[in-house]
Structure 1
């Protein structure tokens, strides 16, 4: 049976490439801002490019933050991409302005401390043991375009719940979170839809998990 995936259309970025990549990964994809459709789908994808504050404003305008919360409360899969990953954290700081995020994870999205920003182009990742998202592509390169990231993973589970699997990458000597696998909530800082065969395999891993 084909997994039904909604790509949330909240006015952020080139969504067509994400739709096409997910279709190639085997999903039946709908691009919509409809809350109920987003709730009913097997998987929800939250894309995002540009400024954190603008993405959060767009997300709130279509109740996307509530949609994500409702899905996760029911254990239903969500995938965040690029700024769509960043808004899942507690807050973002851009140009000295703090914006509240969806607060699914503690942590701050801040400017990368690298000599050259943005971090743009292909880069390797350090995927953890037991990753399902990167199965078969642990040592491949993925396509990044960002100036901000989460440089410190602060969530403590104290073994009460299964700890999220965190994948790292680095740019100009600065380490940042490249992906997170946390039960139904998955996110990547890079763009799998722009990452060629490796990104296609990663999206296929996610779609097949639905």
Structure 2
């Protein structure tokens, strides 16, 4: 088995690869070679920073078409992480509005300003730190992870999925129902950083390695 972390110049590539190496003896490679990506058994689509830059680099490296083809083919498991989750949807409000890959229906929205907790405490954007994730639907990647487990987030924008069936987990931030775990078929994507989320994050990555959709 080969796990390819798609290198289009954006994302925590080495941190993700190291975390995957920690949970498996399989070959983990960071690559932008289309032949290596096509030949891999599993794919990871990372992302970090502004959506405009991520989509721009995907275009610049001539990988957008390949990623879209692989999503449509549904031939192998793919894990999206952070902006790699947001890119799967139709459009993001960030940077004045950016068209994304459109694999899943839905939008990426800003949390807004002046957010308050239930106690009246002012909340910061970006949403940074640990938060609980409520599991909306069962999935093999939830194996060994309790409902309501905490994961590590850093984001100012969140997914608002168009179909309930595509939502596998959500978190509440100031009353916003952020769809932080989404997927369909052989695709599973998370807004949080599993490589920074301690035991449960590593468990999710191990589940991805063992997933046989």
| TM-score, reference length from structure 1 | 0.89
Instruction: Give the conservation status (yes or no) of the 8 Å contact 1:52–1:99.
Output: yes
Instruction: Give the conservation status (yes or no) of the 8 Å contact 1:10–1:58.
Output: yes
Q: Could you give the per-residue CA deviations for residues 105-144 of structure 1, whole angstroms, max 9, x where no partner exists?
A: 1111111133420100111101124221111113321000
Q: How does 1:8-157 map to 2 (within 5 A)?
A: 8-26=6-24, 27-75=26-74, 76-95=76-95, 97-113=96-112, 114=115, 115-139=123-147, 140-150=149-159, 152-155=160-163
Aligned residues: 200
Instruction: Give the conservation status (yes or no) of the 8 Å contact 1:131–1:165.
Output: no
Instruction: Give the conservation status (yes or no) of the 8 Å contact 1:35–1:63.
Output: no
Q: How does 1:183-194 map to 2 (within 5 A)?
A: 183-194=185-196
Moved more, 26-35 or 42-51: 26-35
The offset of 1:100, in angstroms, is 0.8
The offset of 1:44, in angstroms, is 0.9
Instruction: Give the conservation status (yes or no) of the 8 Å contact 2:71–2:103.
Output: no
* Matches of 1:65 and 1:77, distance apart in 2: 17
* Matches of 2:38 and 2:170, distance apart in 1: 30
CA, structure 1 residues 85+49, in 2 after alignment: closer, same or farther (shift >3 Å)? same
* Matches of 2:16 and 2:83, distance apart in 1: 14
| Partner SS, residue 168 of structure 1 | strand
- The 4+ residue runs of structure 1 with deviation greater than 3 A are none
* Matches of 1:129 and 1:155, distance apart in 2: 13
Instruction: Give the conservation status (yes or no) of the 8 Å contact 1:7–1:30.
Output: yes
Q: Could you give the per-residue CA deviations for residues 165-189 of structure 1, whole angstroms, max 9, x where no partner exists?
A: 4211111221111111311111000
* Matches of 1:73 and 1:105, distance apart in 2: 11
RMSD of aligned residue pairs (Cα, Å):
1.6
Q: How does 1:173-184 map to 2 (within 5 A)?
A: 173-184=175-186
The offset of 1:88, in angstroms, is 0.6
CA, structure 1 residues 56+14, in 2 after alignment: closer, same or farther (shift >3 Å)? same
* Matches of 1:53 and 1:138, distance apart in 2: 35
| TM-score, reference length from structure 2 | 0.88
Q: Could you give the per-residue CA deviations for residues 33-58 of structure 1, whole angstroms, max 9, x where no partner exists?
A: 11111111011111011000000011
CA, structure 1 residues 63+78, in 2 after alignment: closer, same or farther (shift >3 Å)? farther
